[in-house]
Amino acid sequence: MIERSTADKSPASDPRREMLWQVLAAIPPGRVSSYGRLAQLAGLGRGARLVGRWLGQLPDDTSLPWHRVLNSQGQLSLPADSPSGQEQYQRLLAEGVIIRNRRVNMARYGWPDSL
């Protein structure tokens, strides 16, 4: 029998997100990763955009390092003028990540290194 429990659609109980949070939490301070990589690592395949969407839905008080996620080119994907964009910039800066022209050296800060 295939039954639908009343609470199997709760985003918070979505196992895919759980995976993502886990991978996300694994990014060391001072390092960065990309939406695509995280998607891959979290078993979301090509769900890069999905990762972005979900990150955007994280609560403000989250302890997850959402700011360590950039696009595949190592650039901050958030609009520079948005609050979140500034936040991300500042946080990375605070972790010692060198950002030049809204972009970081992925070869150096990219995580995981083995690829």
Binding residues vs DNA (CB under 7 A): 11, 14, 34-37, 45-53, 55-56, 58, 66-67, 69, 71-73, 77-78, 84, 88
Distance between CA 52 and CA 95 in Å, rounded?
Answer: 21
Q: In terms of CB distance, is 4 or 46 closer to DNA?
A: 46
Give min distance, CB of 108 to DNA, in A.
15
Give min distance, CB of 12 to DNA, in A.
12
Give min distance, CB of 3 to DNA, in A.
20
Distance between CA 111 and CA 108 in Å, rounded?
Answer: 9
**Omega prior to 112 cis, within 30 of 0:** yes
Cβ contact 76:84 at 8 Å: no
